[in-house]
Amino acid sequence: MDLAWVESHRSPESRSGLVPRPGERLLAGGTWLFSEPQPDVTGLVDLTAMNWEPWEALPDGGLRLAATCTVQQARQAPWPSPVLARQCADALLMSFKVQAAATVGGNLCLGLPAGAMIALTAALAGEAVVWTPDGAERRTPVAAFVRDAGVVDLGPGEVLRAVELPGRALRAPTAFRRAALTSYGRSAALVIGRRESDAVVLTLTASVPRPVVLVLPPAPSAGAVRRAVADAGNDVGWYDDPHGAPDWRAAQTDLLAAEVCAELTGVVA
Ligand SMILES: Cc1cc2nc3c(=O)[nH]c(=O)nc-3n(C[C@H](O)[C@H](O)[C@H](O)COP(=O)(O)OP(=O)(O)OC[C@H]3O[C@@H](n4cnc5c(N)ncnc54)[C@H](O)[C@@H]3O)c2cc1C
């Protein structure tokens, strides 16, 4: 849709140009920004003009995804195993046109429960790299970066620069389960598991307002998984929107978590 209130558009090529002026909003892929009226936005600052490399390899075998890396580019990055990235990209149920424009950073900064790039990067122990307006940088785990539905850990003038994923998490076996009310519906519950040598790490998204990371023993019992999921729901609350009722989301998350643990550990509950 046209953003009728926008009067200016800047394409900064250096960091100093990212400092917003009154009424300005950062523009990444624009797939959300142009999807609804933005009456408080009078100027756009196009992040893609920074021309960041979509991804870079890290010395430990990890990956650094630029905030402007598109979902499509993220799919094509050199993952040790590309399966999880593809599963998460497809969980957004976007057409290929949207995947080509929507960015990893835009997905994280929107902070929607169904943000599948949030799920991917939280499940892989991702760290958000945030540029602060004084020229410094700070880091925070993705799971903490998203604080609530639509609420993220970004202060005025801060820019999400990248997400770094450690090599050890990328090399770990993972399992993915997703539930939605309809075949092509928005994610209502999404559980990703990662098997470490000393733990099974479950990441819950979509059914909860913010990512929840549960660190369980290497071969958790069915009861332990069930209790951990129920405690998480009691702690943060089950999300409620037209894509699923809270009690249904709780039940789906319980089921998916059990399936994920069974796949990763070979122990069927
Ligand atoms: C058909 C369709 C399906 C969709 N499905 C889903 C879905 O299933 N789940 C979901 O979560 N979303 C979904 N979306 C919403 C949205 O398109 C995605 O979340 C997308 O990843 C947003 O990325 P973008 O680059 O387009 O962000 P933009 O629209 O450009 O920006 C989104 C917001 O983030 C801010 N922002 C962007 N980048 C940065 C940065 N680096 N630092 C600070 N602020 C920044 C912008 O200022 C803006 O407020 C869907 C959209 C469409 C059109």
pLDDT in tens, 50-74: 999 999 999 999 999 999 999 999 9
- pLDDT digit string, tens, across residues 131-169: 999 999 999 999 999 999 999 999 999 999 999 999 999
Residue 33 CB–ligand 1 contact under 6 Å: yes
CA of 181 to the centre of ligand 1 (A): 22
Mean pLDDT, residues 233-238 = 98
Give how far Cα 101 sits from Cα of 53, 123, 169, 180, 233, Å.
Answer: 15, 23, 27, 24, 33
- pLDDT digit string, tens, across residues 244-260: 999 999 999 999 999 99
Q: Are 147 and 210 in contact (CB under 8 A)?
A: yes
> Which atom of ligand 1 is least distant from the CA of 159?
42
Nearest of 45, 51, 57, 63 to residue 117 by alpha carbon = 63
Sheet holding 159-165, edge to edge: 55-57, 63-66, 159-165, 127-131, 137-141
Nearest of 231, 213, 244 to residue 146 by alpha carbon = 213
Using CA positions, which residue lies closest to atom 46 of ligand 1? 26
Residue 191 CB–ligand 1 contact under 6 Å: no
Element (H, E) at 13: none
Nearest of 147, 172, 165, 211 to residue 66 by alpha carbon = 165
Q: In order of start, what are the domains of the chain with their CATH numbers?
A: 55-168 (3.30.465.10), 173-265 (3.30.390.50)
- pLDDT digit string, tens, across residues 155-205: 999 999 999 999 999 999 999 999 999 988 899 999 999 999 999 999 999
Q: Are 77 and 65 in contact (CB under 8 A)?
A: yes
Mean pLDDT, residues 81-88 = 95
Residue 30 CB–ligand 1 contact under 6 Å: yes
pTM equals 0.96
CA of 174 to the centre of ligand 1 (A): 25
